[in-house]
Structure 1
Amino acid sequence: MPLTGTFNRSMDDKSRFAVPKRLREQFGEEELRSIYVAPGTECSLDLYSKIAFEELADRVATMSPTRADIRNFKRLFYGRAERVDLDSQGRIRIPERLVTFAGLQKEVVLIGVHDHVEVWDAAVWQQFLENHSTDFDSMAAGVFE
């Protein structure tokens, strides 16, 4: 099942926020106990289930290790990615280095994006929407050609 939806959350002083129950169910694991959090693009973070993270790792493993850009991506991605546990209230704690990477403040937005969830600072997400929403029709035309 593709991950979908937009969810506003508040991050507490310990860099924790609750993963919505609907998203936890969409991750497709019987009892979701942990999630992989990794650097994403455009100052966002990516959340992956164990299965989705392993599938991504399998795809990356097939890429040429002789290309400097691929080696550097692996270093930057895997060196900052981390498995985090969900507590009894469905919250995860984002490591400080990833909070800093994504510029997360108190208000964050979680967006389901097919096989992962993106975590954005709410103000940055709003700016992204303002900059790209008018391009949706042309993007859709390119995707569905």
Structure 2
Amino acid sequence: MLMGTYTPKLDDKGRLILPAKFRDVFEGGLVVARTQERALAIYTAEAFEELMTPVSSAPNTLKQVRDYQRMMAAGASFEVPDKQGRITIPPMLRTYAGLDRDVVVIGAFGHAEVWDATQWARYSEQAEAGFSEMDEELLRPPG
């Protein structure tokens, strides 16, 4: 389970050092993909394949399905961390997420996310209000 907030920096080549606590999870390879919030998600290759199974098997006779399949496939990149735990974030994905130098990497249980530091600050401030409301809903005892 991936948890926590980390603030590494992208180097001049667009490389990100994965948090030490995440490296074992991703050492065999990972997929960096776009999220709807203009951040990036990092999945193990296996988790990404499982997540995309319904997408890849959906009927591509529907335009919305084709659009989604194309956007997901075009906005994903398989990467293998080097010995220092670095991965390269492709330029297209850095542009999509507005990543320059200061980034925030968060654990989101089954995956990690990479955010522009300023965007993360805005998002987390806005999401804080709904967090307490959802906490009551999600963690309500049964019965």
TM over 0.5: yes
TM-score (norm 2): 0.89
What 5-or-longer segments of structure 1 have no aligned partner? Answer: none
Alignment length (residue pairs): 140
> What is the CA–CA distance in structure 2 between the aligned matches of 1:120 and 1:108, rounded to whole Å?
6
Which amino acid is the alignment partner of residue 18 of structure 1? Answer: I
Confirm or deny that 1:59 pairs with 2:54. Answer: yes
Once the two structures are TM-superposed, the CA of residue 39 in structure 1 deviates from its matched residue by 0.8
Q: Which stretches of structure 1, 4 residues or more, deviate above 4 A after TM superposition? A: none
> What do residues 9-29 of structure 1 show as CA deviations (whole Å, max 9, x unaligned)?
11011011110120123x2x6
Q: Quote the residue 1:22 is aligned against.
A: 21
Task: Encode CA deviations 1:97-120: one digit per residue, 9 max, x unaligned.
Answer: 000000012011111112211110
Post-superposition offset of 1:62: 4.2
Q: Who is 2:113 aligned against?
A: 118
Distance in 1 of aligned mates of 2:44 and 2:32: 9
Percent of aligned pairs with the same amino acid: 36
TM-score (norm 1): 0.88
Matching residue within 114, 119, 133 for 1:138: 133
Q: Residue 82 of structure 2 aligns to a residue in which SS?
A: coil
Instruction: Describe the SS at the equivalent of 2:8.
Output: strand
Question: CA offsets, 1:23-77, max 9 Å, x none?
Answer: 123x2x6xx1421111112110011111111111223234343332222111011
Whole-Å separation in 2 of the counterparts to 1:124 and 1:71: 29
Higher alpha-carbon deviation: 119-128 or 58-67: 58-67
| Number of the residue aligned with 1:94 | 89
Q: Which amino acid in structure 2 is aligned with residue 125 of structure 1?
A: W
Tell me the CA shift for residue 80 of structure 1. 2.0
Say whether 1:75 aligns with 2:99.
no
The residue identity in structure 1 corresponding to 2:7 is N
Name the CA distance, whole Å, in 2 between partners of 1:7 and 1:70: 35
Q: Is the 8 Å Cα contact of residues 35 and 41 (structure 2) preserved in structure 1? A: yes
CA distance in 2, matches of 1:114, 1:69: 29
For 2:79, give the aligned amino acid. V
